[in-house]
Amino acid sequence: MKTLVSMIAGTLLFTLLPFGHVLGEELHQKGQEVFQSKGCVACHTIGGGRLVGPDLKGVTQRREEGWLRKWLKDPDTMIQTDPIAKEMLKEYLVPMPNQGLTDEDIDALISYFKHEDNKQNNNKKEE
């Protein structure tokens, strides 16, 4: 029985492994869609400078993923309890509204931010 389970797991891993890149591509594309549809673009750019909120260029390098997840999930609580969030409110004067993001939305947004940060880092290397 253990051998059968191992064979099935190995076959699935071998079969699905080539699609990992495709799934990552789909996830960051979904993140871009969430960024647009939830209205993030009204306050943020990625590499286009500051608007109402900060430019998100390099956000995955400035903030840990766990922090980003908490921030995207519940900015209201973060503004009350987190020193970084408190400083951002002082600087930008407008609190980030809670967009009611699902965990899947947050996964997609973080994937999109990472993709954009990697793309910009690759562009710097080519210069």
Per-residue pLDDT of 80-92, as tens digits, reads 999 999 999 999 9
Smallest CA-to-CA distance from 115 within 50, 26, 54 is with 26
Q: Is the pLDDT of residue 8 over 90?
A: no
pLDDT above 90 covers a percentage of the chain that reads 72
Asked if residue 52 lies in contact with residue 94, where contact means CB atoms within 8 angstroms, the answer is yes
Tell me the pLDDT of the chain averaged across its residues.
84
Please, which pLDDT band fits residue 17 given cuts at 50, 70 and 90? very low
Per-domain boundaries in the chain: 24-126
DSSP state of 101: -
Q: Does domain 24-126 have CATH number 1.10.760.10?
A: yes
The pLDDT of residue 116 is 94
Q: d(Cα 11, Cα 13) in Å, to the nearest integer?
A: 5
Beta strands in the chain (DSSP E): none
Asked if residue 85 lies in contact with residue 78, where contact means CB atoms within 8 angstroms, the answer is yes
